[in-house]
A and B are shown apart, each in its own frame.
Chain A
Amino acid sequence: MLFGFFILTVLGVLMPRGPRSLAMQTMAFCIFAMAYDLCFGYTNQCSLGHSVFFGVGAYGVVLSLLHLQSGILLGLLIAFVAGMVVAFLMGSICVRLTEAYFVIVTALFSAIFHLLSLDMTWLTGGDDGLSVTLPDISVGGVRLSLYDPMTNYYFILVFFLASYLLMRRITEAPLGKVFISIRENEKRAAFLGYDPFRYKLAAFVLSGAFTALAGSIYALTLRYATADLFGLYWSIIPIVWCLIGGVGTLVGPCIGVALMFFFQYYVSAWWTHYLILFGVLILVILRTSRKGLLGYLLGR
C-alpha cells in the first residue's frame, strides 16, 4: 500500500490533467471506501446510511466556507466533526438493531436526509447545489491555492495518506482486534468483557467521521455540493467497492474503487450502460469467491 502511495506521488507530476483530476476523485472515494470498510468489514454492520455522512461532510465544508468564511482546513475539520456527531446520533439509534432492521433504518435515514436536503433549498441549494470559491490556504506563511491542479492533487494525496495511516493504526491496534472479534462472534466477545454495542458504535462513528472527510474532499474537488450526495446511490456504492476489493482489509476497498473508476470512465466511454457489467460483476463475485470476500457473511 505504501508503495502505492509512492507511485501516486510520482504520478502526480507525470499525469496529464484529465487523469489527474480523476485520480483526485478516486482518492476521495478511497477514503470513503476505507471508512465504510471500518463499519462493514470490521464489525459486520451493513449500513445503507453512509450517504448521510458523505453529504454532511460535503455540505459541512461548503457551508462553513460560504457562511463562516472558515478557510479550507478549518472547514474540513468542521466537516469531520459534523460527520462524527451525526454518526453518533444515528448510531445510538441504529447500532442496537438486528441485522435486517439495521439495514432498513439506516436506509431510512439516508432517504430522510436526501428528501430534506431536496426540500430545504434555502440551506442546501437542492438539486442544483451550492457552488463555492476556494480561498487560499496558508500554512506556516506559505500560501497554497487549490486552483493550482498540482497543489490540489498533493493536498488530497496528503489527506488520503493520513486517513489510511490513521485507519490502519486503528485496525492494527487492540481496537481493531476487538472489532474483528465482535464481527466474528459478538456473543463471545461480550463474554470476554466487551460491550458489543459500544464497540460497534465506536466503529460506526469513526466510519461516519472519515466518510464525512471523504465527502468534504470530494466537494472540494467538485467545488460544490448538491442534495444528490445524500442519495441512496452513495450508500450502496461503498458496499460494492468493499465487496469487489475484499472486505476487512482497508486496501481491498481501494482496489474496488480503482476498478469501479476504470469502469466508470473507460468502459463507459464505449458503452454507457456499464452499470450492467457492474451488476453482473457483483453477482459473479458473490457466486465465485464467497470464501474470500463474503465468507464471514455466509459462514454464520
Chain B
Amino acid sequence: MASEVASALLFYLVNGLIWGLIIALIALGLSFIFGVMGIVNMAHGDLYMLGAVFAYWIFSALGNFWLSLLIVPVAIGLLAAPTERLILRPFEGHPAVTMIATAGLSFILQQLVLMTYGGVPKELPMPLQGSFDFLGVAYPLYRLFIAALSLVIIASVWLFLHRTDYGILVRASMQDKEIASAMGINVNTVLVFTFVLGCVLAAVGGVLAAPVTQVFYLMGNDVILLCFIVVIIGGLGSLGGTLVAALVLGGVEGLLAYFLSPTGARAAVFAFMVGVLILRPQGLFGTQRG
C-alpha cells in the first residue's frame, strides 16, 4: 500500500518535472524576448499552441510526427521575423504597450487557428510506443524523449549564448542596448534573431507537448501565466534560473495534482507564486525596468 502511494507520487512527480521542462523551453523564449526587446509577449502561449497545431497538421498530412520537429522551427521562423519587423517594432521598449499589442496579436492568432483548425480539441497518437520501468513505475518512453530533447535544446542554447560570438552579442544587447550598438552590434538583426529564437523555442515546446496533451486553439492560455511566473522567479535571461524555476514549479504542481484536483493544484501553485513575488519584489522585472 505504502509503496503504491510512493510509486504513484513518483509518477506524478516525474510527469510534473517533464511538464516543467516544456515550460522551461517556452519561458526561455519569453525571457529573451523581454530581456532583449522589452516586449511583454502576451502572444507567447499562442506560439506554443501554433507549434502543437502545426505538428498535428504535419502528422495528418505526412503521417509522420518527427518531421514536424524539423519543419515547425522553419515555419515559425518565417512567420515570426516579419511579425517583429512589421507589427511589433514600433512598440518595443514600452512594456505596457507591447503587452496590449501582443494581446491583440494573440486574438488574431487564436482566431486564425480556430478558422482553419476548428474549435474541437484533437489528440495525436504517441509517436513512441513502449515504456520504461523505473522503481516499479512503468513510464512512457515518449515522455522521457521529451525530457531528453528539452535538456539538449536548453544546453545548446546555453552553449550558443556563452560560447559563440553571436550569442555574446545577444547577451550584450540584453544588458544594454546602447552600449551594444556603440560596440558596433547591428541591433536590428539581433532583435529579429531574438524574436525568432524565442518564438521557435515556444513552438518546439508545443510540438513536443502535442502528443501528450490536447491540441486546442486556446491551449496557449494555459501556459502563458506559468511562463511569466517562471521568468520572473528564475531571473531575467538567466538560463539556469529559468530551468530551476520551471522544474520546481512543474514538480510541485505534479505532486499537488496527486492530492488536489489539477485545477486546485494550479491554484495552489499560483497562490504560492503570489507570495514569492510579494516577498521578492526586487526581482528582475522590477530592477531592470524600474
Name A's B-contacting residues (CB within 8 A): 46, 93, 96-101, 103-105, 107-109, 111-112, 115-116, 118-119, 232, 236, 239-240, 243, 273, 275-276, 278-283, 286-287, 294, 297-298
Contact residues in A for B270 (Cβ distance below 8 Å): 108, 111-112, 115
Partner of A101, one of B106, B261, B271, B286: B286
Name the distance in Å between A43's Cβ and chain B's nearest Cβ.
13
A101–B221 contact, CB under 8 A? Answer: no
14 new A-B contacts at CB < 8 Å, known A108-B225, A111-B267, A112-B270: A46-B99, A93-B278, A98-B285, A103-B40, A107-B228, A108-B229, A108-B273, A239-B100, A273-B115, A275-B107, A279-B104, A280-B108, A282-B104, A286-B104
A104 to B225, CA, bound (A): 8
Interface-forming stretch among B65-73, B89-97, B141-149? B89-97
Q: A104-B232, A273-B114, A286-B97 are contacts. A119–B107 as well, Cβ < 8 Å?
A: no
Inside 8 A of A280's CB, which chain B residues have their CB?
104, 108
B107:A294 contact, CB within 8 angstroms: no
Q: Are B286 and A283 closer than 8 Å at their CB atoms?
A: no
Partner of B105 from the list A104, A116, A283 (CB cut-off 8 Å) is: A283
Q: Which of A109, A111, A294 has the most CB of B within 10 A?
A: A111
Flag if A118 contacts B289 (CB, 8 Å): no
Q: Is B140 an interface residue (CB 8 A)?
A: no
CB distance from A300 to the nearest CB of B (A): 8
Which residues of B253-290 are within 8 A (CB) of A? 261, 263-264, 266-267, 270-271, 273-274, 277-278, 281, 283, 285-286, 289-290
Instruction: Please tell me the size bucket of the interface on B.
Output: 35 or more
The contact sample of 27 A-B pairs, CB cut-off 8 A, is A46-B96, A96-B281, A97-B278, A98-B285, A98-B286, A99-B96, A100-B286, A101-B232, A104-B229, A105-B278, A107-B228, A108-B274, A111-B266, A111-B270, A115-B263, A115-B266, A115-B270, A243-B100, A275-B107, A276-B111, A279-B105, A279-B111, A280-B104, A281-B104, A283-B87, A286-B104, A297-B96
For chain B residues 96-126, which have a beta carbon within 8 Å of chain A? Answer: 96-97, 99-101, 103-108, 110-112, 114-115
A-B interface contact total, Cβ < 8 Å: 120
CA separation between A268 and B73, bound complex, in Å? 34
The answer to whether B115 and A98 have CB atoms under 8 Å apart is no
Q: A46-B96, A115-B263 are in contact. Are A98 and B111 (CB under 8 A)?
A: no
Q: Is the CB of B103 within 8 A of A236?
A: yes
CB neighbours (8 Å) of B107 from chain A are 275-276, 278-279, 282
Among B90, B100, B273, find the residue whose CB has the most chain A CB atoms closer than 10 A: B100
| Chain B 216-228 interface 0/1 with A at a Cβ cutoff of 8 Å (1 = within) | 0000010001001
With known contacts A97-B277, A107-B225, A283–B104 Cβ distance under 8 A: yes
Inter-chain contacts of B278 with A (CB < 8 A): 93, 97, 105
Binary contact track B36-52/A, C-beta < 8 Å → 1, others 0: 00001000000000000
* Interface positions of B from 3 to 48, Cβ below 8 Å from A: 40
Partner of A275, one of B110, B263, B289: B110
Look across to chain B and name the residue whose beta carbon is closest to the beta carbon of A107: B225
Residues of B within 8 A of A283 (CB): 87, 101, 104-105
Report A-chain residues with C-beta under 8 Å of the C-beta of B264. Answer: 115-116, 119
Among A104, A232, A273, A275, the residue within 8 A (CB) of B228 is: A104
A124 to chain B, nearest CB (A): 12
CB distance from A268 to the nearest CB of B (A): 11
Decide: B277 and A99 in contact? CB cutoff 8 A: no
CA distance A79 to B114 in the complex (A): 36
Inter-chain contacts of A281 with B (CB < 8 A): 104
Q: Which residues in window 45-63 of B have CB below 8 A to A?
A: none
CB distance from A242 to the nearest CB of B (A): 10
A98 CB contacts on chain B under 8 angstroms: 281, 285-286, 289-290
Q: Is the CB of A119 within 8 A of B263?
A: yes
Q: Which 8 pairs across A and B sit closest by C-beta, in order of nearness?
A: A282-B104, A279-B107, A279-B108, A115-B267, A100-B285, A279-B104, A276-B111, A115-B263
User: In whole angstroms, how far apart are the Cα atoms of A282 and B87 in the complex?
Assistant: 12
Which residue of A is nearest B34, CB measured? Answer: A100
**Min C-beta distance of A88 to chain B, whole Å:** 16
Q: Is the CB of A286 within 8 A of B101?
A: yes
Given the interface contacts A101-B277, A111-B225, A232-B221, does A286 sit within 8 Å of B100 by beta carbon?
yes
Given contacts A100-B40, A273-B115, A279-B104, contact A105 B277 (CB under 8 A): yes
A72 to B96, CA, bound (A): 39
User: Once the chains are docked, how many angstroms separate the CA of A205 from the CA of B106?
Assistant: 29
The chain B residue with its CB closest to the CB of A106 is B274
A278 to B95, CA, bound (A): 21
Q: Please, which residues of chain B bring their CB within 8 A of the CB of A287?
A: 90
